[in-house]
Structure 1
Amino acid sequence: MRPLRDAQLGAFTFFASALPHDVCGSNGLPLTPNSIKILGRFQLLKTISHPRLCQYVDISRGKHERLVVVTEHYESSLNDFQKQRVLQIAYEALEGLEFMNKHGMVHRALNAQNVLMDGKGKVKLAKFGLYYMTDHGADVDFPIGYPSYLAPEVIAQGSVHPSDPSQGENPLPSGPKTDVWSLGVLLFELCAGRRLLQNIEISERLKFIITLGCIDDIVTVLAEEHGCLDAIRVSLKSITKKRFHSVLPSRPTPAELLVDPVFEGVSCLYAPFQQPVGLFSSSLRCAHLELPEDISQLCKDDDEEYLGERAIDEVYHLWCLAGGDLEKELTNKEIIQSKPPVCTLPKLKDVAGEAYYPLLEDEQSSLSQSNSSNELSCTVTLPLIIRERDTEYQLIRIILFDRLLKAYPYKKNLVWKEARVDIPPLIRGLAWAALLGVEGDIQAKYDSIDKDTPIPTDRQIEVDIPRCHQYDELLSSPQGHRKFRRVLKAWVVSHPDLVYWQGLDSLCAPFLWLNFNNEALAYACMSAFIPKYLYNFFLKDNSHVIQEYLTVFSQMIAFHDPELSNHLNEIGFIPDLYAIPWFLTMFTHVFPLHKIFHLWDTLLLGNSSFPFCIGVAILQQLRDRLLANGFNECILLFSDLPEIDIERCVRESINLFCWTPKSATYRQHAQPPKAQGDSSTNGFGKAANYYSSDYQDMPKTDLSREPLALSDLKAEVSPRISAEDLIDLCELSVGGQTKRSKASKPKILAVDIRSIEDFGRGHISGSISIPYSTAFSPDGELVQCPATGTLQSFRGRVIVVISHAMKSAFATHLVKVNYPRVTTLDGGINKMKPTGLLTVPSPQI
């Protein structure tokens, strides 16, 4: 959006027409309220940006079908014009009308108060989207337009309501030539003097217009002002019936007028409008991101309005955070004023000027820490919900992310770094796209997909959409449903090897909500998200993928919370009964959108194993109730999931993630390794080094985990870890490589269960020996609990059980006695022998 500069934020309100409460649609569901329809259509208006149009900013829905629209506003209007500028005013207005027409829109509400003037005296057309957002007036009970300026063909249609079937054939929507008539009347009034005409008797006015040869076009408009419209219309129809019922009147369109010779001396004063290059396109884009060595030189003028250079939607967002209330403002103005500026916009005067020019690298800073910077450091430590409502904090974060995204993908790593702190809600959609690695001309790719030809999946999509997050006003609107269909169908058509499963609509919802006016970006984000977190989940036969996923999840529960795992297994409450919707929709079927946004802000920073940690964190919030109940009670509990503290869930998920060895969640049906050179990074805090990439992406070696048959995987309670993971976690040096910092990894204990003799021939440095024979008899019966002795002092560490072959009984018993973080070494000690890292004790003298 354009910068605010000398503009104000204005608001106007109107009511949508109410629908009967006892009427349902053809699908058996209640009719969508007209206010919801208008809200959905309005979203497109936010993308219409032109120097001659007042920018639409937001819309809110109140009680009794009330809608409040926020828009760019100026105090001056056409009433304040200078007569010598008539041609320039006409040209500028036509520029705005032509741009609207290119987007399939007609103003239909032109009058002197809706042609505003900015600080430089340039035309700004206001309320240009009212006719479009109300479906050509179908969703409101009042006419769109001002009778004195309506074209004769519009007046001839009368007051037929477009959606009223009892009125017969619906009238055609107004076209571009309608606005030309309205503009012509405005200009005529300006030139002739409106006050002069108003003082002339009606009979004299009619004679005056007759002398202009315009009786059939103008007389109706003038007659309306004196209460004789109906009588004049009847007589006029009999004289000029053909003219009134002409579908396309013989006047020119705005585009045709702009090239008229009358504007030859004016058009040269205006440069052609060029649409700014978007973030994801095939066009080259640039932004001036360099800052002087001494940034304080940019902030010398204390009176400079830095906030005025920010986008209008940013300023409005900050106003809302500062406590702005649209309806309250209009109430204070005694609803409704012709010029309703929002007067309580926070000045943000205390924000230091350097905040508007964030540095991307700390070492470049030559400034001392300002009070504002110190306060920002304190704000970062506050809960996320408070940070998201802090006006100054959000201003600084928005500016920083805006700068980083302008340098995307060059500054991709810094986007990751800042996203670990938090993501400003205002630009979450673009930030997610950057985290998912979306690049290139996404619009061209989306446009090339056939979204119109019927396919077998259409019916299922039609059934699912009206049930998907329909509590949300935006997604429940007809526009939302149409966009849902297009994005989902685009994904299905462009992935012929996959199929539509129920739940895909829920998965699409966050991306569509964040990118409502950019279907291509919603599709691109969804297409990048699914391979990373849900690879092959949407195969026609996905049972082997789902079963492996659930088995690994079951092992994760045992790894992090063995007591809960033992209880759930005893009562038969397995993940198959509750977790499939969790993972198939990445929790979008479980949580409302506002919780999903916070959850996915963190999910997108983790690798493909992070969803397991989220699942365990959810179970741990329900832990007490699960441990106290049996199978039937647990089923009932999950049929109506209790309220989950999403911030606590995120914190605990990160902690669980950092305690999970990365190879413990290996799945052979996960996404294959990416091409070398993908520099995307992720991780959380100190664990960023260890978890800098997904285990699935690491090149496979002789020390990597081997694929395991599903039956064998299900037989093991504890997860396995690879030999390379063990080497890394034990800080063993391989080939002279530098060791990683211990602070970035979970603490580990290697437990060697081979015989004393085998242990003496070679073992991993730092491991302890607990021979299997001392704990279990030859037939596998437990002789002595291994957890009651040496292991007790190491409780809480990640325990890796090492043997010749895979003897899972030892690890299984540790889990049974509620020992957490138990794993086994994939391939046993044999995997370690070729490395030369086994230690042989020195002989005793």
Structure 2
Amino acid sequence: MIFNIVDREINSAQFGVTFFTSSQRHDTCGTNGLPLTPNSIRILGRSQYLKSLNHPNLSQYVDIIRGKHERIIVVLEFYTQNLKTLLKTFKGKEQHELILEIGSQVLNGLKFLNKHGIVCRNLCLENLLLDGSGETKIFNFGLYYMTNNGKFVSFPIGNPKYTAPEVFLSGVRKGPSVYSCDVWSLGIILVELVIGEEIWSELKLSQVLRKVASLTHCEGSVFQRLLQEHHYPHIYTELNPKLRDLIERCLDINPVTRGSPSLLLKDLFNKSTKASDTVCINPFAYPEVSVLNNIILSSQLQASVPANLFNHSDTETPVDQKAKASVDHLLKRSFKEIYYLWQLAGGDVFAELRRQGLTRKKPAVLSLPCSMTLEGESAGKISDIKHLHLPDVITQAAQLPLIIREKDIEYQFHRILLFDRLIKGYPYTKSLIHRESLKDIPPYFRAQIWSCLLEISGDPKSIYNSIDKETPTSTDRQIEVDIPRCHQYDELLSSPIGHEKFKRVLKAWVVSNTEYVYWQGLDSLCAPFLYLNFNNEELAFSCLSAFIPKYLYNFFLKDNSVIIQEYLAKFSQLIAFHDPQLTNHLDSIGFIPELYAIPWFLTMFSHVFPLHKIFHLWDKLLLGDSSFSLCIGLAILYQLRESLLCSGFNECILLFSDMPEISIERCVKDSVDIYCSTPRSTLCRKHEPPPKQRKEVHRKISTDSDFSSNSLPNETRNSTSDGLKMEAIPLADLKKEKCPRISGEDFLALLDLNKTRFNKPKMVVVDVRNYEDYNRGAIPTSINMPYVSSFSADGSLIPTTEVNILNSNRGKIIAVVGNRGDSAVKFAEALLFLEFPRICVLHRGIDIFRSGNILVVPSSMNNL
């Protein structure tokens, strides 16, 4: 919104104010545990550079102020006249030279901005102002820059009608826009000036967006198309050739060939860089009057000045206004000086906002009186309102970041009281402990809660004491070498007593598990349990003994290559399922999980992260099953994604050798999201823990659970036929297939034919059989895309109605269905190459549904 700080003109120039609100979640923290810097402060810091920019075709930034509630107020030069208010006056041949001059001035301003690394992205008729001398000035040109390409605000920057098509097509993750997008905006503005009216003025926003997108398919001149749409085709031939060429160049669909402002100025106006194009005044230096005269002051600055310039009640009014104007030196000062003097005279931007009615204070409801007399006496207001409402401190604190919750005394006090009661009731309160642990685990009771989640029972002390931990073994030497390198930054674990306890616990595990061998990394697995149970070795040993069979089943066999290869193959398929772009890139450079992920999974990330991060990570890991660690690995890749996509093989090796800082809170959140959005059967492995040791927790535990899945509930899973269940896939086939397989039971759960689980479909089914087989019987709602005829020679999809349906369902799970051959697998991998996410293949093919009443004749699908 815009308003004038002063009531009258300063030689036709005024101060304008735009203000906007940028919000940020208050419950987020950085990797250092401190709250993130508010977006308003980020904007305030970036915007200071804009105050140093001065150019005849740019409105000068005067001040940027940060207010309450993340409000930013921007004070800058403003004129009431803009191209929109004067739009109709530009119609006609006689105005073509004037329009050309406006285009030249705007290009000069854009050229100056580009030299200083700024993209406007906010050009429109309203933001092109005209000063008293007829000079065009770009208003509010720094909004996109100060908000870090729009990242610090919740609203889009720019008018969609003037936005270049590539901005919409590139999406929000593409990064900052290029300079040529402003050239497109100028082209649209010039078209409107030429025809003397706004284009698409009667269309809704959605229609305007479709219009802009449709221009990308324009084979001829975009300018001619716009003229024909608005019934002005004759203007094209009547137009000034130079102006016509300028508009054509500006409206080039290809941003690469469109040209930059400097190139257009050189080609069309023969203008080179002038001194005024490179002026940048230090905002902290006092500018010389001669510089100000050349840059800021206009030729008509000697006009009369109103007596109430500052709108201050104590300002003296001279008797002779004309005589005063002739010697008034105030007019020769810069805008910043005048603004500063206005503030000294009592001017207040926030007060002006309130006076103009742009901000209003609303009192709290409970502070308002129930009744008030004409004399001003109020009644019914409660003087002490603190007894009316008891804030739910626990509920409020639960929304804060985990690292802050762990330091909140009152919150931790309530959590300790709760878990103290639950632990005393174990094992009868096992489900309640699990449900409350989904929220968070208080550090005070972490050792006991982990023991409950691992279902430790019996007499751990007697079992531990019965194990021979003193007799020398063949692994003693390796244990003694590993312990001094394991989390030795911690004072307890690095102490001699800590080393002794380490050795006893590790030896006890090796002796009591004769089918396994000691692998490097076992010490890292032991460290969190020993740290939490430093004075309770037997409980540390019991937790380690329960943890390994549940999450690292058979990982410590003497020959564990098959288990690890299967695990990594599933990890590769999980990456392909959620991030095909990353998969294609890593495959292209030959960077496979074997090169970086083995230490992750062999130690459940305890070798990668320090203890304080492991605690938060394992708090969630212990609530999931053995496949949850795969989701954690993918969550880590998410944070390294941008670096990986722009790196080659050697750079990736260096990246993982010195891994950047990873936000554990974000990692935990992403891993839960991945876990919940991945069908259980796609993570099925041959070497999973047996049911007795796995004791898989129901994924839909309660309404408070963060772990919810698209897969079938356990009771439904147990009642399904064997043909619909998932079976282990041979390792050779698993390593060849890039896309995971989905079981028939999970397939039916996602299909949800009865529409009892989901409001909207979660999956699109692609049947790759030939037309004859498809017409004999197909899955309801499926689309038929035969593998042999769906792809062109270059691997792209041949445009069809089914392809449009597939594209419109991007983001949903894509289940590829075929016969028992490999056509479905090849089709899925072809879609993966085209970067379709969440692709899976139906295990055993469509034959598993022939015995049921699932398949229907395609012609009858419309009646379903």
TM-score scaled by structure 1?
0.53
Amino acid corresponding to residue 831 of structure 2 in structure 1? L
> Residue in 2 aligned with 1:828?
845
> Cα deviation per residue 1:696-743 (whole Å; 9 max; x = unaligned)?
99998222223222121111111001111111222247xxxxx86337
Amino acid corresponding to residue 738 of structure 2 in structure 1? V
1:835 aligned counterpart, secondary structure: coil
Aligned equivalents of 1:767, 1:595: Cα separation in 2: 45
Amino acid corresponding to residue 537 of structure 1 in structure 2? F
> Cα deviation per residue 1:234-261 (whole Å; 9 max; x = unaligned)?
xxxxxxxxxxxxxxxxxxxxxxxxxxxx
Aligned equivalents of 1:371, 1:390: Cα separation in 2: 21
Query: Comparing 676-685 with 699-708, which one deviates more in the overlay?
Result: 676-685
Is 1:767 aligned to residue 785 of structure 2? no
Runs of 4+ in 1 over 3 A off after TM superposition: 369-373, 675-684, 688-700, 779-783, 785-788, 841-845
1:25-44 → structure 2 map (5 Å cutoff):
none
Is 1:719 aligned to residue 740 of structure 2? yes
> Cα deviation per residue 1:557-615 (whole Å; 9 max; x = unaligned)?
11111101111111111000000000000000100000000011111111111111111
Q: Contact 2:700 / 2:707 at 8 angstroms: preserved in 1? A: no
Is 1:536 aligned to residue 551 of structure 2? no
> Residue in 1 aligned with 2:641?
623
Q: Contact 1:605 / 1:682 at 8 angstroms: preserved in 2? A: no
Is 1:784 aligned to residue 777 of structure 2? no
Q: CA deviation at 1:748?
A: 1.6
Q: CA deviation at 1:837?
A: 1.8
1:339-354 → structure 2 map (5 Å cutoff):
none
Is 1:646 aligned to residue 664 of structure 2? yes
> Residue in 1 aligned with 2:572?
554
Is 1:604 aligned to residue 622 of structure 2? yes
Q: Contact 1:607 / 1:694 at 8 angstroms: preserved in 2? A: no
Q: CA deviation at 1:510?
A: 0.5
> Cα deviation per residue 1:409-432 (whole Å; 9 max; x = unaligned)?
101001010000000001101111
1:500-515 → structure 2 map (5 Å cutoff):
500-515=518-533
Is 1:545 aligned to residue 559 of structure 2? no
> Residue in 1 aligned with 2:728?
707
> Which residue of 734, 738, 741 corresponds with 2:757?
741
Inter-CA distance 691–830: structure 2 relative to 1 (3 Å threshold): closer
> Which residue of 599, 607, 613 corresponds with 1:595?
613
> Which residue of 443, 466, 470 corresponds with 1:452?
470
Q: Contact 1:670 / 1:696 at 8 angstroms: preserved in 2? A: no
Q: Contact 2:678 / 2:709 at 8 angstroms: preserved in 1? A: no
Aligned equivalents of 1:513, 1:785: Cα separation in 2: 60
Q: Contact 1:662 / 1:694 at 8 angstroms: preserved in 2? A: no
> Residue in 2 aligned with 1:803?
818
Is 1:840 aligned to residue 857 of structure 2? yes
Q: Contact 2:571 / 2:630 at 8 angstroms: preserved in 1? A: yes
Inter-CA distance 771–688: structure 2 relative to 1 (3 Å threshold): closer
Q: CA deviation at 1:372?
A: 5.8
Aligned equivalents of 2:474, 2:717: Cα separation in 1: 34
> Residue in 1 aligned with 2:437?
419
Q: CA deviation at 1:803?
A: 0.4
Q: CA deviation at 1:527?
A: 1.1
Is 1:428 aligned to residue 443 of structure 2? no
2:492 aligned counterpart, secondary structure: coil
> Residue in 2 aligned with 1:685?
706
> Cα deviation per residue 1:176-212 (whole Å; 9 max; x = unaligned)?
xxxxxxxxxxxxxxxxxxxxxxxxxxxxxxxxxxxxx
Q: Contact 1:416 / 1:681 at 8 angstroms: preserved in 2? A: no
Aligned equivalents of 1:688, 1:783: Cα separation in 2: 31
Is 1:634 aligned to residue 652 of structure 2? yes
Amino acid corresponding to residue 596 of structure 1 in structure 2? I
Q: CA deviation at 1:521?
A: 0.9
Q: Contact 2:712 / 2:745 at 8 angstroms: preserved in 1? A: no
1:750 aligned counterpart, secondary structure: strand
Aligned equivalents of 2:402, 2:835: Cα separation in 1: 34
Aligned equivalents of 1:443, 1:726: Cα separation in 2: 47
> Residue in 2 aligned with 1:570?
588
> Residue in 2 aligned with 1:404?
422
1:823 aligned counterpart, secondary structure: strand
Inter-CA distance 689–621: structure 2 relative to 1 (3 Å threshold): closer
Q: CA deviation at 1:691?
A: 7.8
> Residue in 1 aligned with 2:363?
none
Is 1:819 aligned to residue 836 of structure 2? yes
Q: Contact 1:705 / 1:826 at 8 angstroms: preserved in 2? A: yes
Aligned equivalents of 2:797, 2:666: Cα separation in 1: 42
Aligned equivalents of 1:654, 1:803: Cα separation in 2: 31
Q: Contact 2:774 / 2:858 at 8 angstroms: preserved in 1? A: no
Aligned equivalents of 2:696, 2:813: Cα separation in 1: 30
Q: CA deviation at 1:775?
A: 0.9
> Residue in 1 aligned with 2:180?
none
Q: CA deviation at 1:533?
A: 0.9
> Cα deviation per residue 1:365-404 (whole Å; 9 max; x = unaligned)?
xxxx996662211111111111111100000001101100
Q: Contact 2:677 / 2:710 at 8 angstroms: preserved in 1? A: no
1:838 aligned counterpart, secondary structure: coil
Q: Contact 1:562 / 1:820 at 8 angstroms: preserved in 2? A: yes
Aligned equivalents of 1:667, 1:660: Cα separation in 2: 14
> Residue in 2 aligned with 1:524?
542
2:814 aligned counterpart, secondary structure: strand
1:172-191 → structure 2 map (5 Å cutoff):
none
Q: CA deviation at 1:758?
A: 2.1
Aligned equivalents of 2:761, 2:467: Cα separation in 1: 46
Is 1:752 aligned to residue 767 of structure 2? yes
Q: Contact 2:484 / 2:494 at 8 angstroms: preserved in 1? A: yes
Amino acid corresponding to residue 458 of structure 1 in structure 2? D
Q: CA deviation at 1:840?
A: 2.8
Inter-CA distance 785–620: structure 2 relative to 1 (3 Å threshold): farther
Amino acid corresponding to residue 741 of structure 1 in structure 2? R
Q: CA deviation at 1:451?
A: 1.1
TM-score scaled by structure 2?
0.52
Q: Contact 1:756 / 1:771 at 8 angstroms: preserved in 2? A: yes
Aligned equivalents of 2:694, 2:561: Cα separation in 1: 30
Is 1:586 aligned to residue 604 of structure 2? yes
Aligned equivalents of 1:518, 1:814: Cα separation in 2: 54
Q: Contact 1:537 / 1:546 at 8 angstroms: preserved in 2? A: yes
Q: Contact 1:449 / 1:493 at 8 angstroms: preserved in 2? A: yes
Identity of aligned residues (%): 56
> Cα deviation per residue 1:135-158 (whole Å; 9 max; x = unaligned)?
xxxxxxxxxxxxxxxxxxxxxxxx
Inter-CA distance 605–370: structure 2 relative to 1 (3 Å threshold): farther
Is 1:499 aligned to residue 514 of structure 2? no
Amino acid corresponding to residue 661 of structure 1 in structure 2? P
2:765 aligned counterpart, secondary structure: strand
Higher relative contact order (CA 8 A, sep 6+): 1
Aligned equivalents of 1:636, 1:538: Cα separation in 2: 28
> Cα deviation per residue 1:517-564 (whole Å; 9 max; x = unaligned)?
111111111111111111000000000000010111011111111101
Inter-CA distance 760–719: structure 2 relative to 1 (3 Å threshold): same
Amino acid corresponding to residue 798 of structure 2 in structure 1? Q
Inter-CA distance 791–821: structure 2 relative to 1 (3 Å threshold): same
